[in-house]
Amino acid sequence: MELVSQIYNDLPVNLLIFVLSTFLGIELIRHVSRLLHTPLMSLTNAISSVSFIAALIVMAETTNTNLLTLATIGVALAFTNIVSGFMLTERILRMFRGRPNKEERKAQQ
C-alpha cells in the first residue's frame, strides 16, 4: 500500500507541473512562426517520446516475460520516434534559407 500513499502525496505537485507545463506550452507554441509548424510538430513529437523512459521504468520493475515484452516494444517504438523526430527536424530546418546575400548571388552568376 506504500505505492498508493506515495501517489497521493505527489499528486498536488504533479497536477501543478501539469497545469503550468500546459500553459507554458500554449504560450510558447502560439508564438512559433507559422513557417515552422511542420518542423515544430516533428520536434514536439520527439520531445513527447520521452515516454521512452516510462518503458525503461517498467523494464526495471518487472521480471515477468509478458510485461518485459510490452515494455521492450514500447522502448523500440519510442526510440524510433526520438531518432526520426530529431533528425527530421534538423533536415527540414536546414532547408529554410533567407534571401541569398550579395556574395552568394555573385557566386551563382
Partner 1 sequence: MNDLIVLYLYAAAALFFALGLKLMSEVKTARYGNWSAIVGMVISILATLTAFEIHRVDLLVLAVIVGTIVGTPIALKVPMTAVPQRTAMSHAFGSLAVALVGAAEYYHDAPNVDPFTMAVLSGEMILGFLTFTGSSVAFLKLQALIPGRPFVYPGRVVVSLVNLGLAIAFAVYLVLNPSHSFALPALAALSLLFGFLLVMAIGGADMPTVIAILNSFAGMSAAGLGFVLDNKILIVAGSLDGSSGLVLAIIMSRAMNRSFINILFGAVGGAKEVDAKEVEAHRTVQGYSVDDAATVLSNARKVVFAPGYGMATSQSQHVLKELADVLQARGIDVKYAIHPVAGRMPGHMNVLLAEANVPYDQLYEMERINPLFPETDVAVVVGANDVTNPAARTKPGSPLYGMPILDVDKAKTVIFIKRSLGAGFSGVENELFYNENTMMVFGDAKQVLTELIAALKTK
Q: For residues 26-55, which are near partner 1 according to CB under 8 A? A: 26, 28-55
Q: Is 101 in the site for partner 1 (CB under 8 A)?
A: no
1 lies in the binding site for partner 1 (CB under 8 A): yes
Q: Which of 12, 98, 102, 106 binds partner 1 (CB under 8 A)?
A: 98
CB of 76 to partner 1, least distance (A): 4
**Cβ–Cβ < 8 Å for 60, 75:** no
Q: Is 105 in the site for partner 1 (CB under 8 A)?
A: no
Residue 32: CB atoms within 10 A of its CB come to 13
Query: x/- binding map, residues 56-95, to partner 1, per CB under 8 A?
Result: xxxxxxxxx-xxx-xxxxxxxxxxxxxxxxxxxxxxxxxx
Write out the binding residues for partner 1, residues 8-27 only, by CB under 8 A.
8, 10-11, 13-14, 17-18, 21-26
Compute the distance between CA of residue 15 and CA of residue 82 in angstroms, rounded to an integer: 26
Q: Which is nearer to partner 1, 34 or 102 (CB)?
A: 34
> Is 65 within 8 Å of 4 (Cβ atoms)?
no
